[in-house]
Structure 1
Amino acid sequence: MDGAQRKIDFHRLVRDAPKINHICFDACSKTVKIVYSSTVPLSHTTLDCTRVDSGESEDRIYCIQVQYPDFPLLLKFFGENCPLLKGTTVDFVVTASQNSEIEEEILKALDVKLRHVDAFNGLVYGTSFLLRNIEAESFTYSFDESQRYEFQTLNTESMYPFLLINIRTGVSVVLVEGENQFKRLGGSSIGGGSFLGLSELITGVTDIEEMMDRAMQGSPEEFDIFIRDIYGDRASNFNMDPHLLAASFGRVTRCETVRRAGEFDEQSKNNAILSLLRMILYNVSQLAYMLSEISNVKRVFFNGFLVRNRPIVMKTLSFACNYWSSGKLRAYFLRHENYTTGLGAFLENFPNSDMYWKEYCSGSTALGRFVPVEPLETGFKTQTFALKCTRFKAAPFSLLVEQDGKPDTIDFNNDEQARNFWIEILDKTIADMTKYAIASQKHCDQQDEVTQRAKDFELDFVNTMNTIKEHHVAYGNSNARNLLEVREQILQEKGFDDIYVQKKHEENCTAIAELPNVLAIIDKLKETSDEKTVLEYVSRGLLAGNVFDWGAKEVVKMMNSESGLSFQSAINHVEDRPWLFDGFDSFHSKHKEYKSVLIFVDNSGFDYILGIIPFARELLRNGSKVIICANTSPALNDLTHREMVNLAPALKKADADLAKFIDSEQMMFVQSGQESPCLDARRVHQELNEVVETYKTDLVVIEGMGRALHTNFNVQFKCDSLKAAVIKTQWLADRLGGKMFSVVFKHELGVNN
């Protein structure tokens, strides 16, 4: 292989190499984990269809795992391509089996100093960091034949305390009571090292992957004794399951297995490895249960090289924890546990670690053991994981009832039909997205380069969808929200930060010009009709605005037709009452009572300006404080916080009442911290919570199909809520028992009311 090809492969593996400014090495028994950060400049797509430097940057963290034989080549690449590392101090994880040769290689290849970091500190800090930041980092695994993953999202308040059980060479048990509050409770010498050593001694097998494969083909009947073997039919007299293990390798003591290890056939080797694995894992599980009882802990995380998303290990630990605790204790695992120690050590000396970091799927070349790892052309067998910094602190939305509850209406992990439908829809729209991406930068000087980036986006997204088709748990939770967010990440990775920016601007200008006419109609209606009629009219306008959606296939057809889609025609598409979900009467009866209203908005243009603004104006006229919340980052044609703030002067110019409300801050604008067409209220901008708590929000309005139907449809809030949308896909209409353009106007009382 020539040097040019090798260099290309390294750059594909080591993202943003020239910008690396901090690095940590975690040398394990057979692999080295490398954690590093880069500060990446961001580009901005302009209204005149060019791409310029935005003057802003984004911090990213990358994690790489390589095998020892490949490490010197990778070090050489770091030395030649990472100028910011020269003369700096880098972190090196200190373990009981610290590899001095690795340390010498690092010093030889890089002009740096080493700072030793304790492995236990790194393990605890890295685990807490992942649980706090990464959605669906934590999961349980079924111990039946379904091989089902159940993912959870935890927040700082709910995740402590927990036990962290590290099954490496030996077993260590740590009680974690806070970010930096932990103590070692104990451990065992019977762990991963025991399994590897005894497996090799008994069977001659030396590779752990082969051991696991053989264990899955094994049967415990040859070597183990069960309750039925001791008590026979009398097992039920002792309230014991006859199939329970009574003695690991007990049949050997009964001279029922007299062959020596060297005489084992292949099936006996499989059986021996399985019996050994079960013996060790049952022992670890019993230790976990006893220490959890002593510590009054309900959640136990298992990690270490013996676990690492191996189905047979997770199944056995899950069964044993359930058995020993009589169903009170569940075994939990981590998607990225192989990086916990290195990541935690890295973060000890890294700024912004207290900010909100998101999983950066586009920056990952593989997804851990959830997906088979393909070797690069260089022969490297690697795993990588990436995160990006949002530059703000996040927390669960303070008005959520269940702060760890899933927002998604349909879980694609458990609904194959829904998953396949969405992947098919996204596959069909990829060509159009590519065209929009190219058109958004059509005035850039190097059009060939723009086209190539767009094609790279298309290829990467297709590959991502294929990955999810084959391994639906590859990204943890599979749902509409995550699929759409991954698509936005890939677009951004390819330099397309906002492919609808020009279209949004055009529609905003058109809608602003139309706003005085819409407000005049409402004012005239107030003179001739009663209060309820006016409120229903602005509510219908709210729904009509939501019809304009470039993310909905049927609506795009209408908008691209010769006649186009006007606001009046959108109003005509709002069906007459009663609606599919009709909470209007309930909303009307209480709407004057609300003192502080938070509105999560959806699309730019007609939706926001002609739908949300007139609706909000009526609430403002009633004396309500109105807080309008938009996405922090672009997604499809959704309104962003920056665009919302920039539109404020035009709103003031269009209407005297709006000018008064904006100037007095009776109407104010905040950002959600989101970058998806959906809404995950488990992680919102800290500023949003501060505003909500300051003004004692008593009504939450969520508008739009993504935020109110695909997510949050079943979510409960402490205060009253209104979820409003027009159904614009036939599939969702069928699921909700309606038809195309059915209306959801769901008014719900708060749980505290």
Structure 2
Amino acid sequence: MTDKSYARSIELPTESLFRNLKNAKQFAIDIGGSLAKLAYCSTIQRRTSMVISYEIFQFCFQTCSDHVYNISETEESILRLHFIKFETKYIESCLDFIKSNLFEFGGRSGLSNEKCIKATGGGAHKYKDLITSKLGVQVDKEDEMECLITGCNFLLNNIPDEAFIYQRHGNPEYRFQGVNHDIFPYLLVNIGSGVSLIKVESESKYDRIGGTSTGGGTFWGLGSLLTKAKSFDELVELAEKGDHRSVDMLVKDIYGGAYATIGLPGDLIASSFAKAARSPRDRNNEDVAKSLLLSISNDIGQIAYLQAKIHGLKKIYFGGYFIRGHPMTMHTITYAINFWSKGEIQALFLRHEGYLGAIGAFLKGANETQDDASFVWGEHFAGSSGLASPKCSGFFGKPRSSTFDMLELDRLGKPLLPCPLLLDVKDYFPDTVDLTVDTDAREYWLQCFANGIEKVCSQAIKSQSNLPDVKPRAEKFKSKYLDRLQELKENPCAYGSLTVRSLLDTSSQYLSELYFTDPYSQQKQFENEQAVKLLSSHLSELDKLDWHQRQLELVQGILAGNMFDWGAKEVCKLMETGEFGFKEARLRLQSRPWLFDDFDLWCKRFSVKPNHKCAVIFCDNSGCDIILGIFPMARELLSQGTKVILCVNSRPTLNDVTYSELVILVKKVAAISSQINDALLSERLLVMENGQGSPCLDLRLIDYDLVNTMKKLETDLVILEGMGRAVHTNFQARFSCDVLKIAVIKNKWLANRLGGDMFNVMFKFEKARQIASSASNEKS
């Protein structure tokens, strides 16, 4: 086969598979007998908006002028990891493709800037000379077991919803395990040609405690002898259609029913393939493949359970070529573990288990080149493929193919840790509604985001109207996101738990992919300037009120400010008229009693000494929200002796205020309010970033410095503001400190679900809770 015909057969355009190859560096490869997994790192340039010159900032701070900052387009660099799979038999053509494109785009011969490529897997030795000759680099072979463990630890530590339980015919079929920072110990069962069982106790301590020669190679080999299947995937597909009962002897075939005295159900397999010897008629390929799959899976499941029991392990992760996300394979493994453990242990699978070795090899190289491998990485959904649908072989009539199984990760600025004030992080689930489970909610929100796509495109074009390629990029965003929504409609579990948060985040990632990093930048700057004009008079009016009236006005100010949300369709209609201001927003609010009304309870606590030591406010939108709503509340808390942390997004999304913007705004406000200025100078008022770039808030993964500051200042009050942070997420979150959850419900469907209507108010005050002791739990 020629290179050209190969390229046509598996379609290898740079954009589709080898993305961002022109900026690639730090290669690693895991070469198996059937599939090769390539990892490489690239620098991505993202277009963003920034305010010009520091001198203009200083001028604005000192004069409090009405100057609207000039916006200029610039670029920022991020580091992205790419992982792709292709068939090992085509490795030579793929290496030629990589070499030619690196030379064409990078202007360098091969990979001359790289000292070596890390390689692991059974083919690392076999293809060592080929890689050296093609790419002109040294090949360092890394231990396969060490790479597997390193890769597994990496995924479990970095990727939310990486691990899942598979339940055939369940609703949903995939149940994801969320973020677990306490991953050790566990048993990794790697099912390749044979099977290795590895006990993992820490990042560096692991032992191979067992194995079996009956694995994926056995299934494929015997399947080739017993059926007409020509590939591994074809054999699995045959098994999906088969009925093993025509081949396997069941307990009821021997005893006429269940063997109740020893606990054996009638449908349990008593002897694999036994009926084949007793009946002369030919068996169809499907039934034979199904029997073979069950036989091998049951044996692997029993061995894994016994080793877990011997070593006291409660978590068993399965991976390797044998699994590869095939629903039937996962079902048979799950059934076996459930049967042998009597339901005490559940089989766990990994969304990206095929990349364990490649990730481990890459990290090994990163450590040796002194690239800091300790950074946190987040999944880039716009460039990753999801789990295959258990109901069909592919999406939109396309056959499932490992060729286009891709994973991309973006490096985040700092490590992310769980919020220290969560009552129990193990029980915390950020999202109020799991759309993988709630069918009605899923249908509504998928359609809602599809209906809103034109508005998003319009804003993206408006934000860069001076650029000639803006409309084609916006159309490309629209096409990609609608395709993703359709994919999620077909298979809601493809990318982990499906939630409003994940839909919003995926939209932001697609926008960023097409260089629309901050489409609302200019709009935010304009709204900030308009709100600053009103701040002085607003504070004066607040100061004229008595204590109780002021508390109500402060809360209503936050609620009125929270109305200004460009992510809410009905509010957008109001704001686009140009006649909707802070006063008009106040008039739209629900009158007391509110839908959720703990205002009196809050006042009672706020009036009692001692006051809170430190409050962290997770802020929402720019403009009136932050300036006329949050800053006055922060001033009130400061006046009571409470330190305040204003916490905002690290990266832009919608019209949410970002850290870089708030650093500027706080100085503008300090020039107007002496209390804010004094608190800022004395560091009783701090501005910090949350480590995220989402309209929602996942408190399992917040900024490392924020976590440490919250602990240091003994934070005892959390304020969650806005629908994204207090309704779509954290509505049910429990804290070990006092918490305020404040939002205006700006979606009619959601308001009705909560028992209210549009523009109803949520003001929930929840007192600090404590985890019940084991003794009290036993008593209850």
* Global fold match (TM > 0.5): yes
Q: Which of 368, 391, 395 is the aligned partner of 2:417?
A: 395
Does residue 362 (structure 1) correspond to residue 385 (structure 2)? The answer is no
Partner of 2:743: 725
Report the 3-state secondary structure (helix = DSSP H, G, I; strand = E; otherwise coil) of the residue aligned with 1:676.
coil
Q: Which of 226, 232, 241 is the aligned partner of 1:208?
A: 232
TM superposition shift of 1:741: 0.8
- 1:57 is matched by which residue type in structure 2? S
Does residue 136 (structure 1) correspond to residue 161 (structure 2)? The answer is yes
- Size of the aligned set, in residue pairs, is 731
Partner of 2:437: 414
- 1:168 is matched by which residue type in structure 2? G
Cα-to-partner distance string for 1:59-107 (whole Å, 9 max, x where unaligned): 1000010113433232122212324722523334333x33655323211
Cα-to-partner distance string for 1:340-387 (whole Å, 9 max, x where unaligned): 1111111112123211100011123x335458389999x993321100
Distance 2:455 2:266 in 1: 61
- 1:28 is matched by which residue type in structure 2? G
Judge which range, 135-144 or 125-134, deviates more.
Answer: 135-144
Q: How does 1:620-659 map to 2 (within 5 A)?
A: 620-659=638-677
Q: Which of 299, 321, 329 is the aligned partner of 1:283?
A: 299
Flag structure 1 segments of 5+ consecutive residues without an equivalent.
none
Contact 1:400 1:718 in 2 (8 A): yes
TM superposition shift of 1:202: 1.9
Distance 1:179 1:246 in 2: 41
Partner of 1:109: 134
Aligned sequence identity (%): 35
Distance 2:395 2:17 in 1: 13
Q: How does 1:65-84 map to 2 (within 5 A)?
A: 65-82=85-102, 83=106
Does residue 442 (structure 1) correspond to residue 465 (structure 2)? The answer is yes
Contact 1:457 1:491 in 2 (8 A): yes
Flag structure 2 segments of 5+ consecutive residues without an equivalent.
52-68, 772-780
Q: Which of 471, 494, 505 is the aligned partner of 2:525?
A: 505
Cα-to-partner distance string for 1:6-51 (whole Å, 9 max, x where unaligned): 8981343211112111101111111211000012233322468865
TM superposition shift of 1:442: 2.2
- 2:559 is matched by which residue type in structure 1? L
Q: How does 1:306-325 map to 2 (within 5 A)?
A: 306-325=322-341
- 2:585 is matched by which residue type in structure 1? A
Contact 1:143 1:319 in 2 (8 A): no
Cα-to-partner distance string for 1:619-647 (whole Å, 9 max, x where unaligned): 11111011110000001000001111111
Distance 2:628 2:476 in 1: 37
Does residue 739 (structure 1) correspond to residue 757 (structure 2)? The answer is yes
Contact 2:239 2:290 in 1 (8 A): yes
Report the 3-state secondary structure (helix = DSSP H, G, I; strand = E; otherwise coil) of the residue aligned with 2:742.
strand
Q: How does 1:245-644 map to 2 (within 5 A)?
A: 245-252=269-276, 255-258=277-280, 264-265=282-283, 268-350=284-366, 351-364=371-384, 366-367=385-386, 369-370=388-389, 372=394, 381-404=403-426, 405-443=428-466, 447-525=467-545, 529=546, 531-561=547-577, 564-592=579-607, 593-644=611-662
Distance 1:733 1:64 in 2: 43
- 2:210 is matched by which residue type in structure 1? G
Cα-to-partner distance string for 1:89-147 (whole Å, 9 max, x where unaligned): 3334333x336553232112112111111111111111111111111111101145657
Cα-to-partner distance string for 1:178-198 (whole Å, 9 max, x where unaligned): 122211111111111111111
Contact 2:120 2:361 in 1 (8 A): no
Distance 1:429 1:610 in 2: 28
Contact 1:70 1:380 in 2 (8 A): no
Contact 1:373 1:383 in 2 (8 A): no
Distance 2:219 2:171 in 1: 26
Report the 3-state secondary structure (helix = DSSP H, G, I; strand = E; otherwise coil) of the residue aligned with 2:155.
helix
Contact 1:591 1:619 in 2 (8 A): no
Partner of 2:112: 86
Distance 2:172 2:589 in 1: 45
Contact 1:302 1:331 in 2 (8 A): yes
Cα-to-partner distance string for 1:440-467 (whole Å, 9 max, x where unaligned): 1223xxx321222222212211221121
Q: Quickly say closer, same or farther: Cα 1:51–1:33, change in 2 above 3 A.
A: farther
Distance 2:71 2:475 in 1: 18
Contact 2:258 2:264 in 1 (8 A): no
- 1:440 is matched by which residue type in structure 2? S
Contact 1:124 1:176 in 2 (8 A): yes
Q: Quickly say closer, same or farther: Cα 1:145–1:275, change in 2 above 3 A.
A: farther
Distance 2:196 2:484 in 1: 37
Distance 2:357 2:4 in 1: 36
Q: How does 1:6-155 map to 2 (within 5 A)?
A: 9-46=13-50, 52-54=73-75, 56-82=76-102, 83=106, 85-95=111-121, 97-98=122-123, 100-144=125-169, 148-155=173-180
Partner of 2:681: 663
Report the 3-state secondary structure (helix = DSSP H, G, I; strand = E; otherwise coil) of the residue aligned with 1:413.
coil
Report the 3-state secondary structure (helix = DSSP H, G, I; strand = E; otherwise coil) of the residue aligned with 1:273.
helix
Contact 2:151 2:360 in 1 (8 A): yes
Q: Quickly say closer, same or farther: Cα 1:272–1:49, change in 2 above 3 A.
A: farther
Report the 3-state secondary structure (helix = DSSP H, G, I; strand = E; otherwise coil) of the residue aligned with 1:576.
coil
Contact 1:454 1:494 in 2 (8 A): yes
Report the 3-state secondary structure (helix = DSSP H, G, I; strand = E; otherwise coil) of the residue aligned with 1:492.
helix
Contact 1:173 1:186 in 2 (8 A): yes
Contact 1:373 1:381 in 2 (8 A): no
Distance 1:355 1:183 in 2: 26
Q: Quickly say closer, same or farther: Cα 1:422–1:58, change in 2 above 3 A.
A: same
TM superposition shift of 1:532: 2.3
Contact 1:50 1:442 in 2 (8 A): no
Report the 3-state secondary structure (helix = DSSP H, G, I; strand = E; otherwise coil) of the residue aligned with 1:425.
helix
Report the 3-state secondary structure (helix = DSSP H, G, I; strand = E; otherwise coil) of the residue aligned with 1:178.
coil
TM superposition shift of 1:549: 0.6
Contact 1:140 1:330 in 2 (8 A): yes
- 2:294 is matched by which residue type in structure 1? R
Q: Which of 682, 696, 718 is the aligned partner of 1:678?
A: 696
Report the 3-state secondary structure (helix = DSSP H, G, I; strand = E; otherwise coil) of the residue aligned with 1:381.
helix
TM-score, length of structure 2 as denominator length: 0.90
TM superposition shift of 1:486: 0.7
Contact 2:257 2:265 in 1 (8 A): no
TM-score, length of structure 1 as denominator length: 0.93
- 2:570 is matched by which residue type in structure 1? E
Report the 3-state secondary structure (helix = DSSP H, G, I; strand = E; otherwise coil) of the residue aligned with 1:329.
coil
Contact 1:374 1:381 in 2 (8 A): no
Contact 1:155 1:396 in 2 (8 A): no
TM superposition shift of 1:239: 3.3
Cα-to-partner distance string for 1:677-731 (whole Å, 9 max, x where unaligned): 0001111110110110000110110000011000000011121111100100101
Distance 1:494 1:49 in 2: 23
Distance 1:222 1:551 in 2: 57
Root mean square deviation, CA, Å:
2.3
Report the 3-state secondary structure (helix = DSSP H, G, I; strand = E; otherwise coil) of the residue aligned with 2:16.
helix
Distance 1:327 1:314 in 2: 16
